[in-house]
Structure formats: structure tokens, C-alpha cells
Amino acid sequence: MTTTADTQPGRGDGRSGAGGPGGTETETVRQHASGDPFDRDDLPTAKGATSTLLRSLLAPHRRELALTVLALLLQQAAVQSGPLIVAYAIDSAVPALRTHTYGPLVAVGIAFLLAACGSAAFQYAYVHYSARVSQNALLDLRGRIFRHAQALSVDFHDRYTSGRVISRSTTDVESLRELLGEGLQELVTVVLASVYITATLLWLDLEIGSVAALSAVPLYVLIRSYRRRAARAYGERSTAIAAVVVKFAETLNGIRPVRAFRRERVNDAAFAALNHRHERANGSALLEMARYVVGSRLIANTAVAGMVLWGAYRVADGTLALGVLAAAVLFVRRLYDPIDRLAMFLNAYGSAAASLKKIAGLLGQVPSVPEPAAPRPLPRAEAGRPGRAVQFADVAFGYRTGGEVLPRFDLTLPAGQTVAVVGTTGAGKSTLAKLLARFYDPTHGRVLLDGVDLRDLATAELRRAVVMVTQEAFLFSGTVAENIAIGRPDATRAEIERAAKAIGAHDFIAALPDGYDTDVRKRGGRISAGQRQLVAFARALLADPAVLILDEATSSLDIPGERAVQRAMDTVLRGRTAVVIAHRLSTVEIADRVLVMEHGRVVEDGPPGRLVAGTGTFARLHKAWRESVVGSG
């Protein structure tokens, strides 16, 4: 409700060579129709999903929640007993003392001491338990978002962008934290205090109490109008800050071109405009709050004056005890103390509700590549035949946004075959690879691995068998060794080094300050794009899969790097089934078979020698490529 733009630095584009979604040119242009819920960052949620989510977060902590409320009830009881004790002291203890009866005075002293201790102890208990409830709920929520985001398919991530997932698990969780941590306390305190005080006032004196209760009506009207106006003001503010954040993040992520193209002053001006808009919106939101405070104070103070007037009259008449008036007056002032804070709660609630809605939208997404309910095992691999056969049986694929990417086709890759897939931008090469890696499921037909549908394989088994290396060579923070070990977490150091050596990465790794133990810092630090791709290959080598898919995995490698990869495939990975997608046709030389794709269809299929000799697309591509490498060895 608050923002349509993303409030967090988007990190999809222009970053770390990761390329746009998909990384390759397959998804040329993503639909940007304003009607797409992904672009508006407004995923559909079932009705009441927000409150269902909140309930499900709090439900497991029912006991603590009950203790929290109990502690707060008792704390308020202890706090609010003060004026009653004062009333008792004036109306009973004073006359008693005059007759030298000390009992009531002792009672007053003990009662007050108990009240003090009680309110301190219950205050402690309340903060303690409420922190437990809120921290446990947040832990749960963070975990849910994380696990769900991990479970969602690559297809989803392509469209949702990383920035939004990060935003969901940071700023949005944070706004719930504020609500649970402070906002809720405000609300409960306000409600409890009001109920207590009004009830006590009614009990002390029905008429004074009625005035107090009646003052709730104008207050309610005021709060309603504030909510409406604040929603608008705060919505405007959060839209404005989102724009500021986007500009900020974009500048930081593109700092090199910003500098090289002297954008500083232009950016300063553009930022100043956005910043000013936020400043105005921010000021207006603060003024809205000022208006509310004036209104609420006016109502409160008028009510107090009214009650004192009425009470004083009746004391003068003799129909009201002086102590009761004193107590009532002490109470009344307190009744209106927390109304300022109510506004803060409303703000916290507004932004938390908006955040929860977005989170619920994310959690409501169903993974389009679900785990099988009853997984089937792969048949045992034959000794000495490490590869596995792949079969696309009557497969078709189209993105959810519409448009068929791959019309129905059949394709069989025998075990151990190295297949190169070539074709122009948008021919569907990457989609083919992603179907084989089960990043997507086909919209029709089945992809079989040694006769088993990929959909029937447990994730662990599938990932052991099929590994895909993409153009995007992302490094996780940690050491180089740890990054390679992602391929096989239980690998020894010797095995890691062997993999690095096989791919020709050992030399540069050994030259790093701490060798294999060098921290790659944030996002790969100064390890160059080519070196990152080598690390990614070492990973794949270590994983030792039956089927290896290389999707543009050599784009940043120089020729020796590319040769090392080819050598490794020829030696270490010999006998694996391999699917290689490359712009550069040098890779094709090691292939047993070439598939030429155009508009989602395989238009040529055969051994490279035969295709080169022919007159088809591949022969033309190959000729162009030969010309581009004139003079090379």
C-alpha cells in the first residue's frame, strides 16, 4: 500500500558480470507491461493472507504470548493502583491516624511498596517475554522467507530480481520487528491503560467515568481521520524514499562509469530533486503528526477540565468524597498520556501491514519445480561408463508470461556424448540447458535421465548427476578453497587442488596472498572475470557429475583457459555426457555432435565434420568464425 517501487537496491543488472536475468541472450526482452504483478512488486495474496501469516507466526509461541499479556496486565494493574492507594490514604488513613489507628497507614505503605516492586518485576517480565515472542517470530519469518526463496525456481528469481528478495528479508522483516517490538507494546499499553483507567473511573464515580468514556468518541473520530491522512502522507514518503534509494544504489553499483563519464554533477542535480521530493513528503508526514498531537491533546485537556469541574462541584455539594476526586484527577491525566504513542503504533502498523503483505505474496508463490512426493532412484551406473543417457520426450516449453520458446520436440543424447549447441541469440539454447538441469520443468512432455523423469528424482540425486556451469561465475564470501568445495563439500584439500590443477586455475590461486585460503571478499573482489570462471569450472570438476552442462561458461576465458577446459573435459570428465553452449565455435571442435538451433527448433544435427562440409547454417557460422580467427594457430 505504501510503495510501488522497490525500496531496496535492485541488484539484478549491471553487476559482477552476472548479466541480466538468465545471463544469456535467450530472454531477450522481458515483458514490462505495467499490468505484470512482478513489475509492480505486488504479488497476489489470498484474502486475509496477511493476518493468516501473522497468526501462524505467533501461534507456536502462544504460551509466551499469554505470559506477555499476563505480565502486561499485572504491570498495568500495579502501576494503576497508585492513585487508588492515594485515595485510600486520604479518605481512610488520614482519619484513622487522627484516632491513632496505624493499621491503614501500614497498609498504604506496604501496598505502595508491593505496587512498586510489582510494576518493576512485571515490567521486566513483560520486556523479557515480549522480546522472546518477537524474536522467535522474526527468526521463524526470516527462515521461512529464506527457505521459500531457495525453494522457488530459477524462473521465479529471474523475474522477481534479487533486490526484492533482499528487501523482503531485511527492510520488510525490520518493519515487523518494529511493530512487534515497540508498536505492539504501545498498543497493548494504550488499550490496557485506557480500559483500566476508564473502568476504575467508572467504579470510583459513575458520572466522572462517563465523561472519560465519552471522550473516546471524538478521539476515535480523530484517530480515524489521522489514519486516512497519514496513510497518504506516509505512502508518499515511502515512494519518495524508494526513488532516493534506487538512485543511490544505482550510482554506487555503477561508480566506475559514473566517474569515467563525469556524471557526478548531473547525478548531484538529479539526486537533489529526488531528495527534495522526499524532504517535502517527510516534512508533510511530520506535520500530519503535529496536527494529530494538537487534536488529541485538545480533546484530552478539555475532558480533564470538564471532569474536574464536574467533580469539584459535587465535592462542594458534598455528594463526592475529596479523595475520590483526587484519585479521579490523578487518573484522568494519565488516561490521555499514551494517545500520542497511539499514532506511532498506527504508523508502525501501517508499514508492517504493507510489508507483511509483500512477504505473504512471496511466500504464496508455489515453487514451479517441486520436489517429488515419491522419489525414484536412478539405475546403477555401469562400471566404466560414467555418463548417462538424456532423452527429451515430446518436450515443449513456454514461459509463464506467454510465448512458446521451444515447440514440441524429441531429442536423445546417448550416454558419454559431447554435444555442442549453437545458434543465434534467442534460439532457445539456454532454455534447453535449463530444462536438462531442471531449473524449469517443461510445459509438455518429459525430460528423462537414464529413463527416469527428472521430476521423479530427489534433488540431491539429480544434482549429483547433472551439473550446470553458467556464464555467471558467482563467488560466495569465504576462501577460494571453500568456493571450489561447493562442488563437493566433503572434498579434501588435495582433491580441491587436483580439480584446480586440472582446469589450469592452480597457478593463479597459488599466487594469491593466502593461496587457497585467500578470502574472495565481497563478490569476488579482484579475482578477474576469467579467473572466476575457472573457479566455477573447478567446482564442476570436483562435483564429478554424470551429465555436465556448460552454458556460455567460457565467455570470459582467454584461449588458454578455454583449452584447459577442453582438456579437462577430455581427460577428467571423459565419458560424461556433456552439453556445451558457446558463442565461440572453438568449443565445437571437441564435440561429437552439433545441434544448430533456430527459433526454438533444432534445424541441423550431426557430427561437426559433416555439418561444416555442408551448406547449412552451421557451415556459414563456422566460416564466419574461421575468418574471425585468421592467423591463429
Partner 1 sequence: MADRNLGVMDRPSTPAQPSATRTLLRLWPYVRPVRVRWTAAAVTAVVASCLGLVFPLVLKWIVDGPVADRNPKGVWLGALALLGLGVAEALLFGFRRWLVARPLASVEAALRADLYRHLQRLPVAFHDRWPSGQLLSRGTTDLMVVRMFLAFPLTFLIVNGVTIVVGLILLLSQDWGLGLVLLAPAVPLIAVCYRFEDAYARVSRRAQDQVGDLTTVVEESVLGIRIIKGFGRHRSQARAFRELSHTLRGTELTKARLLAGILAVITLLPEAALGAALVVGTVRVADGALSAGTLIAFLSTALALRWPIESIGFLLAMSQEAATATRRYFEVMDAEPESTEVARASAVGGEGPGAGAGGGGLRFEGVEFRYPDAPAGSAPTLHRVDLHVRPGETMALVGATGSGKTTLTALVPRLYDVTAGRITLDGRDIMTMPRDELRALVSMAFEEPTLFSASVAENVLMGAEGATPEQVARALDVARADFVDGLPDGVGTQVGEQGLSLSGGQRQRLALARSVVGEPRFLVLDDPLSALDVHTEAAVEAALRRVLADSTALVVAHRPSTVQLADRVALLSEGRIAAVGTHQELLRTNAEYRYLMSGGTAAPGEAARG
Interface positions, 114-173, toward partner 1 (CB under 8 A): 115-117, 119-121, 123-128, 130-132, 135-136, 138-139, 142-143, 146-147, 149-151, 154, 157, 162-163, 165-166, 169-170
Tell me whether strands 390-398 and 444-449 are parallel, antiparallel or unpaired: antiparallel
CA distances from residue 158 to 23, 30, 399 in whole angstroms, order as listed = 9, 10, 11
**Nearer CB in complex with partner 1: 448/465:** 465
CA distances from residue 249 to 246, 254, 477 in whole angstroms, order as listed = 5, 8, 21
Min. distance of Cβ 481 from partner 1 in angstroms? Answer: 15
Q: Among 53, 57, 326, 395, indicate the residue that binds partner 1 (CB under 8 A).
A: 326
Stretch near partner 1 under the rule CB under 8 A, chosen from 3-11, 186-194, 195-203, 381-389 = 3-11
Site for partner 1 in 362-421 (CB under 8 A): none
Q: Among 69, 74, 191, 258, indicate the residue that binds partner 1 (CB under 8 A).
A: 258
Residues 6 or more apart whose CB falls under 8 angstroms from that of 135 comprise none
Alpha carbons 173 and 175: distance in angstroms, whole number: 5
Among positive and negative, which fits the CA dihedral 233, 236, 242, 243?
Answer: negative
Q: Among 276, 385, 493, 574, indicate the residue that binds partner 1 (CB under 8 A).
A: 276
State the DSSP string of 29-67: S----TT-TTTTT-----TTHHHHHHHHHHGGGHHHHHH
Min. distance of Cβ 48 from partner 1 in angstroms? Answer: 27
Site for partner 1 in 443-462 (CB under 8 A): 459-460, 462
> Which DSSP letter does residue 479 get?
B
**Nearer CB in complex with partner 1: 198/471:** 471
| 576 three-class SS | coil
Alpha carbons 393 and 447: distance in angstroms, whole number: 6
Alpha carbons 549 and 389: distance in angstroms, whole number: 13
Stretch near partner 1 under the rule CB under 8 A, chosen from 49-57, 559-567, 571-579, 601-609 = 559-567
Cell triple for 286: 511530520
Q: Considering the rule CB under 8 A, would residue 562 count as an interface residue with partner 1?
A: yes
Reading phi first (left if > 0) and then psi (alpha if -120 to 50, else beta), residue 23 is in: left
Q: Considering the rule CB under 8 A, would residue 1 count as an interface residue with partner 1?
A: no
Q: Among 67, 84, 89, 447, indicate the residue that binds partner 1 (CB under 8 A).
A: 89
Amino acid identity, position 87: A
**Going residue by residue from 465 to 504, which x/- string records binding to partner 1, judged by CB under 8 A?**
--xxxxxx-x-xx--------xx-x--------------x
> Which DSSP letter does residue 585 get?
G
CA 434 to chain CA mean position, Å:
24
Q: Are the C-beta atoms of 581 and 430 separated by less than 8 Å?
A: yes
Q: Among 3, 10, 212, 409, indicate the residue that binds partner 1 (CB under 8 A).
A: 10
Site for partner 1 in 47-86 (CB under 8 A): 82-83, 85-86
Q: Among 584, 599, 601, 610, indicate the residue that binds partner 1 (CB under 8 A).
A: 584
Q: Considering the rule CB under 8 A, would residue 603 count as an interface residue with partner 1?
A: no
Site for partner 1 in 175-234 (CB under 8 A): none
Q: Among 280, 385, 400, 493, indicate the residue that binds partner 1 (CB under 8 A).
A: 280
